[in-house]
Structure 1
């Protein structure tokens, strides 16, 4: 498998604070570092000096050129790495969710999962030790706590109504909550290891879950019980549901389980048989994350060596493109229109553009998202911008 190397930029995470200090006259001038990388090439470590001379001035050196388009948006050019006017964005909004450690040994807040409801205009987030909240980004201090889980909350989803949420945890349970009152009328149990992924079918009468026990389960929400289970030999890290691909995949609705070894296993949701429709070949490195775009007809998988692999739903056994920015594990992926949002173990979130023809798939870096230190970007939520969160417990909107 040929892997295309993509360049990337890392800019001082508190650069906006430097600009603010200079603008307010707190300091007369200060340097901000800007680094650029590409595998096989010498990295570039430049600086921009921010100073006040009738207005804020930027003076660049050491191989980088930076233009400030607006308060939070920059264009970075690095001639040595053939980067020209690469957009770099700092967050439009930063939200710190309410969190109180239960004891001195309790973990710091880490956001494992995030979802946005356009109907409710709210986020649901999951974190350590049963932490789950429904939050209005405009009023984060009024977040609704969802009590019940005793393990880390690893996945969260909004039901289409915008009034109910689904959560999944390492405590091996699924819970359904009112997003208005926090009441928990349903608890679904049956998995024997941590639940890693969920999917809500239709309006939400049925939900799917996948877990590290190697199973995918179909639940009847109204009855509160399991209806079916499909069993695999590997832990399931991600779950994808594809509708309307009868000719290509052999069923109208196909459940795709992405397992640790990098393979994709498809099952027909409506079929009586539990035999898979297909099993794609495993990859060389561990699968960590996955995302699906019905518009593009693509599945992207993120791997522990930093590789992102693309397959078309018309032939999931064939890799059509593979890219890598660096060797940090790809913790999170989410499609947003004709682009892919990427988060890694070392931060560095970005948007990749995707140009697809029947014969080719070209992937490039479209935007870099700054404002992160070197901590994992665990999750994305698309809606009213692109939201991401991770190991520092902060929600950022780009």
Structure 2
């Protein structure tokens, strides 16, 4: 049985509202208005105004007074609560970035470079955390992640810090768009950055203690079309899984630098997700369906899921433990399935306009983060119904090309050449 398609509202706010509130809080500006708008398909849009001024007696609080059907309240350091009863928005969090990371050479406002993929490494006592970005022209850059100042040192109404990055190493490693990358560490391999591209190739680039150049030491080939997904395989530490629009999922042995297995889908595969603890890979297909493969045993798909999507699937993720599958499509529809008990129809489906979905990933607490070409990433709560819980806002609306859910938050990057982190 197919679940009814829910149309979710979008809440947008003036791009520099944090700066306005920070100026009022510091006393630089006595009062000012900011706009807040809410949109929902087939219903009249609501365009309201929030009047902001410093409290008469409590000089550590900015008073926010809504009008024309909207309200905005301060909730936490980087969070606000928006409401618009007319369009069913009771309490949606407006979340601003906790940190932004930008290389001025790649994020000029007049000529930004599209970040088509990025990766973040974990830090240790011996090694700093790293950020790697891949650009649409094939350039790979690696940066040391700056330390974030303590929250208590940041003014309460100010946005999170914006870090200026300088590449420790940067090189045009791929011939065209870099589509996926991962930092790889294991007992049998020196630290590597695995990157895949639209040039059909996976490169393995050593990450030395003193970064000065990026030169792949191994290249993994076999795909005959652009690679769309890449992931280390937890059941075999030296193995790497990839998916491609050539319709295959492939397993490579990074230590030997050789192809170790191939699984054929019944159609082109734009994206895939892996259940690490069970060895099950789900491939999202261009015909709107999804197929599962047991990547421990070469062979045919072990399951096929008819999602009902009318467009190519462009995003897929599996919940921890593999009980649920979420897929997003190029026409903006997101669907949630229970896959442990069978492969029936979606139990929940929703949409926020027609912009293509570039990422959909599970977040703790019965939530799913979604990003797309409209530049309005968000988090939905699917524990009961489907409702927008958080709007992840930033200053210039630009397409989001990549989305990651990591231990310290939700990360996004895209056409503006900036990597952003949100605490949700």
TM bin (shorter chain): 0.7 to 0.9
Give the conservation status (yes or no) of the 8 Å contact 2:233–2:276.
no
Deviations 1:293-345 (A, max 9, x none): 12462111111222111112212343221111222211112222232111121
Give the conservation status (yes or no) of the 8 Å contact 1:152–1:170.
yes
Counterpart CA distance in 2 for 1:255 and 1:193 is 19
Deviations 1:59-94 (A, max 9, x none): 321111111234532111212123223211111111
Q: Does 1:141 align with 2:163?
A: no
* Runs of 4+ deviating beyond 6 Å: none
The normalised TM-score by structure 1 is: 0.87
Counterpart CA distance in 1 for 2:288 and 2:82 is 35
Indicate the residue corresponding to 2:252 in structure 1: 219
Shift of 1:169: 0.5
Indicate the residue corresponding to 1:248 in structure 2: none
Counterpart CA distance in 1 for 2:318 and 2:168 is 30
In the alignment, structure 2 segments of 5+ residues that lack a partner are 148-164
In the alignment, structure 1 segments of 5+ residues that lack a partner are 245-251, 356-360
Indicate the residue corresponding to 2:414 in structure 1: 390
1:104-253 to 2 correspondences below 5 Å: 108-119=112-123, 121-138=129-146, 140-145=165-170, 147-161=172-186, 163-180=191-208, 181=211, 182-202=214-234, 204-243=237-276, 253=279
In structure 2, the CA distance between the partners of 1:69 and 1:107, relative to structure 1 (3 Å rule), is closer
Shift of 1:174: 0.3
Indicate the residue corresponding to 1:312 in structure 2: 338
| Alignment: residue pair count | 381
Indicate the residue corresponding to 2:399 in structure 1: 376
RMSD: 2.5
Deviations 1:336-365 (A, max 9, x none): 22321111211111111231xxxxx63322
Indicate the residue corresponding to 2:324 in structure 1: 298
Task: Select between 87-96 and 330-339 the one with higher mean Cα deviation.
Answer: 330-339
Task: Select between 137-146 and 203-212 the one with higher mean Cα deviation.
Answer: 137-146
Shift of 1:200: 1.0
SS at match of 1:129: coil
Shift of 1:146: 5.0
Give the conservation status (yes or no) of the 8 Å contact 1:87–1:368.
yes
The normalised TM-score by structure 2 is: 0.82
Indicate the residue corresponding to 1:247 in structure 2: none
Indicate the residue corresponding to 1:58 in structure 2: 64
Give the conservation status (yes or no) of the 8 Å contact 2:201–2:221.
yes
